[in-house]
Amino acid sequence: MMSRVLVTGAAGFIGSHLVDALLARGVTVLGLDRRRLGEHPLAGENLATAVTNRLFTPYHLDLATDQLDDVVKGCDTVFHLAARPGVRQSWGGEFLDYAQANVVGTHRLLDACTREGVRRLVVASSSSVYGPADRPSREIDPTCPVSPYGVSKLAAEHLCLAYARRPDSRLSVAALRYFTVYGPRQRPDMLIGRILFAAYTGFPITLYGDGSQRREFTYVSDVVTATLGAAHLDVRAAVINVGGGASVSMRGVIDEAAKVTGRQVPVKVVDAQPGDVPATAADLTRAGRLLGYWPTVGLHEGLARQSAWLVNLSRDRLAAFTS
């Protein structure tokens, strides 16, 4: 049973959905993020409902630099979703931030969990730890990240597993490899939101390459279901894929978005980018066996829900799509 939990990255896209789901189950939630709610408009919007709930307390902390013991103390479960996401920017000078947030931040959180006797950590890993694959990736497949972001996520995953496997450890770890997540509150740099935005505004979507790249798109409520389930897993250290059940090409998503919105999607084609694998697809056998997980929201339904959310967006959120 969970009674008091910490969610890192609580003000982000997936973290805020997880916070809402935990609060709906009557769990006391401490929400940690380096974005300050009053100052970062998207963070404030993401947690707008949560902050009205007396079971929720936000903490403005940076995992890489701030003291973490006080916020970890007394938590039975830590959901670690905080990270610097995104493949493209990770090649440049901003890698230092990826290393700080994803690697140093994870290490410092693990140290605090160890000192405070936390028993369970669920960490958001990523499909980007796999390299190019010509069939659905299984957790036992060799990892071979092809971007600095993927390298940082694999390092974070290994750190968590190493802490769980220490002979004297009381901490058990479930590392969930999420495959491209979408839905309301999706980060403005991500593809599906940009496609829907293009359909409604005529502001063209930038397509990297010929659009044949395939991605396993996973609706955010399915990701939350798997993440909550992983908190109850009876294993010391596990790695589990969390996918949407089907892999679809970029062109396929654009066509589906046109059907959902009843509008054309203007496209600007540019060269493929380093770090983008031709395809991602998840083998969900282990997720089914350990978590009883199978995705419930298909691409058409998920696009319809994200589209319904998008048409009511705030000025701040809309501005983020064009920046």
Where in 23-82 is the site for ligand NAD (CB under 6 A)? 33-35, 43, 62-64, 81-82
Residues 220, 14: contact at Cβ < 8 Å?
Answer: yes
DSSP labels, 121-142: EEEEEEGGGS---SS-B-TTSP
Residue 207 or 220: which CB sits closer to ligand NAD? 220
DSSP labels, 224-282: HHHHHHHTT---SEEEEEE--S-EEEHHHHHHHHHHHHTS---EEEE---TT--SB--B
Residue of 13, 130, 163, 197 interacting with ligand NAD (CB under 6 A) = 13
Could you count the other beta carbons within 10 Å of the beta carbon of residue 315?
8
Active-site residue (options: 98, 130, 149, 219): 149
Residue 10 or 27: which CB sits closer to ligand NAD? 10
Residue of 4, 187, 263, 286 interacting with ligand NAD (CB under 6 A) = 187
Number of residues that bind ligand NAD (CB under 6 A): 27
Contacts of 241 (CB under 8 A, 6+ apart): 127, 137, 138, 139, 176, 177, 179, 282, 283, 284, 286, 287
Q: From CA 27, how far away is CA 81, in angstroms rounded?
A: 18
Q: By CB under 6 A, is residue 101 in contact with ligand NAD? A: yes
The tokens 């969610």 sit on which residue? 7
**Residue 149 annotated as catalytic:** yes
Q: Which two tokens stand for residue 261?
A: 């919105």
In the complex, the smallest distance separating the C-beta of residue 223 from ligand NAD, rounded to whole angstroms, is: 8
In the complex, the smallest distance separating the C-beta of residue 235 from ligand NAD, rounded to whole angstroms, is: 21
Q: By CB under 6 A, is residue 83 in contact with ligand NAD? A: yes
Residue 26 or 92: which CB sits closer to ligand NAD? 92
Active site residues: 149
- Binding residues vs ligand NAD (CB under 6 A): 9, 11-15, 33-35, 43, 62-64, 81-85, 101, 105, 124, 126, 153, 178, 180-181, 187
